[in-house]
Every structure is written in structure tokens, then in C-alpha cells.
Amino acid sequence: MLGPAAAVPLRSSSVTTSMPSSSTSGVPSTPVRPGPSSGAPAGQTGAPPAGQTGASAGPTGASAGPTGLPPGQTGPLPGQAGATAGPVTRARAGIHRPATRYPADEYVYAASTSTSGQPAPLPVSARAALRDPLWLAAMQEEFDALQRNQTWQLVPRAPQANVITGKWVFKHKFHPDGTLDRHKARWVVRGFWQREGVDFHDTFAPVVKPGTIRIVLQLAVSRGWLVHQMDVSNAFLHGHLEEQVFCQQPIGFVDSDHPDHVCLLSRSLYGLKQAPRAWYQRIAAFLHPLGFRSTRSDASLFVYRQGDATAYLLLYVDDIILTASSP
């Protein structure tokens, strides 16, 4: 059993070490506190020997690890060089989205035009399209179709009239095999400038239900009927308008004799809020005299019956599916 005198050096060694003599060379003059688990014999300090630096020298360097970092620390401490504040974002990592001049669906196509001989990308403005002979011809074709259809008549601009602006929309049309068919330009009005109760009222237009399509196709297959698919060109341009709607003259085709006149629409245009409804009313008025009747369960299913002959016509906007008992 140890006497009381033996406890004195143990208690003192757990607090601090004795100051080294001034005659000792290579030992720092400041006291060093050893770790609690230090088993250094009396008189030995935790300072590294002469010529040794870093955390690996001495007993105290073992607790800091080989990199000089506290246990569990895998990167630089806050405030040190190389430390990052907050999460690593795409911008900090140097990842940037490529800036494209064209929409995403046209970007790959635009990039392939230089090597594959495909047509140039879509024009970014009507002014640019007017300088391209191909797009100018497409715009002229659209304007001539509107004129033949008697879509509008030019009238002086009334002081309180709500004149809707428009824009040209350009698109490439392709064949089923992927080759270019033609350049398509369409004059579209900005329907969001319309005012309810002034130049539009009802806008609802029915379309055929998916269940109706499946039933009719199953019926045609079970009975061996032919199925025909049709697409109506410029369908919305055939609808008649009941309201007074004014729009600007198409850009690039302003009447030189009446540059300040506006278009009073008699037919609907793409972009009008009531254009789908006007088209449905026009096609329904065309089918009724032929003997087709819309069903109560689906207003876009037209049925024709005469004797033993039966025909079903499905209408989805400007797409038509027709099947009948006789070719």
C-alpha cells in the first residue's frame, strides 16, 4: 500500500510538468500539457525533439491523427484555406447549362443542319423570315389562303376598338420517313388580349373521349370494317365568328393603300379563345345534313344509320376517324 507521500508526484504530473532548465537546448521555454493518457515518465515533456515539427512528434500528436486534424474531421477547418461555406452547388462545381438560341426541341436539329444538309433553323423573328426566300414563300402561301378564305375585311380603326395583335409562327413539316416536307408559316393572334363579353363569350368545345375511341375501334375490328383517318387542313380557319373581333394586319403584308386599317374578322384564326368552339359548330353543322347525329353520351361521336348501313365518325379537334359497314 502506497503512503501519502507517493500520491503527491502523481497528482502534480496530471496537471502540468515541471519547467525545464534553461540549460536544456532544443526544448521550448513554454510549458506543455500532456494528454490524460500520457504515460511519459517523470521529467519527460510532450514537446517534440529538436528538428521535429508537426503533430506526429510526441505523445500529443497521436491524438490529432496523421493529418493534424481532430478526430472525425476529414476536411479543412472553418476559416482555413480551402474551406467552403454551405453546400456545393452546380455553379460552384463549374457546371453550367449551355446557352441556346433556339428552343430545346430545335437545338439538336439546328446543330445537325451544317453537316446533314437539312434546312436552316427556324427564324427568330418575322423580319428575319422575310429575308429568307423559303420562309417568305411560306408566309405568302399562308396569307393567300387567308385571303381566299375571306377571313377578314379591312376597316378603319375605331377609337374604342380592342385590336388584338398577332405574330408569325414557323415550323418544319416532315414526311413519315423524316425527310423535309415543307416550310410552314402561320399567322396567329394573341388571344390573351381578348376581353370576355366584348370579343368572346363561350369557349368550350367537346372532344371525343378515349373510351369512345377504343369501343369504336374494337367494333370495327370485330366486324372487319375499314378505318379511315383524316386531318382537316387549317381547321380553325373554317369557323364563323359571332362576335366582332379586330386584329392587326399580318406583319410584312400590310395593305399599302390602307396601312392604318385593321382586320375585322369574319372567320376564326388560330389563337382566338373561341376558335375551337367555332370549328366544332361548323363541322357539326356540315355533318347534320348528311345524316350524322351526335350522341348524348359523347358529343364528338357522330353516328349515321340508313337501312343496314352504319357509320361512325370520331372528331378530335381537326383529326377525324371514320369507319362504316360498307366501304
* Residue 322 near residue 228 (C-beta atoms within 8 A): yes
Rounded Cα distance, 74 and 191, in Å: 60
What's the alpha-carbon Rg for the chain, to the nearest Å? 42
| pLDDT value at 64 more than 50 | no
Distance of CA 198 to the CA centre of its chain: 33
Q: Are 206 and 213 in contact (CB under 8 A)?
A: no
What does the angle CA 216 – CA 220 – CA 224 come to, to the nearest 5 degrees? 175
Q: Where in the chain are the domains?
A: 113-324
Give 302's strand partners: 294, 313
Rounded to whole angstroms, how far apart are CA atoms 49 and 274? 92
Is residue 75 pLDDT above 50, yes or no? yes
SS3 content of the chain, % helix, strand, coil (to 5): 25, 20, 55
- What confidence tens digit (pLDDT) does each residue in 269-299 have? 999 999 999 999 999 999 999 999 999 999 9
Q: Is a pLDDT exceeding 90 seen at residue 28?
A: no
Q: Which of 19-23, 85-89, 200-204 has the lowest mean pLDDT?
A: 19-23
pLDDT, mean of residues 45-65: 47
Q: What per-residue confidence (pLDDT) applies to 94?
A: 80
Q: What CA–CA distances, in Å, run from 153 to 103, 193, 260, 265? A: 35, 20, 13, 7
Q: At residue 304, does pLDDT exceed 50?
A: yes
Q: Tell me: the pLDDT tens digits for 185-215? A: 999 999 999 999 989 999 999 999 999 999 9
Question: What does the CA dihedral 210, 211, 215, 216 come to, rounded to 10 degrees?
Answer: -30
CA dist., res. 180 & res. 51, Å (int): 79
Task: Count CB atoms within 10 A of the CB of residue 303.
Answer: 14
Query: What pLDDT does residue 178 have?
Result: 85
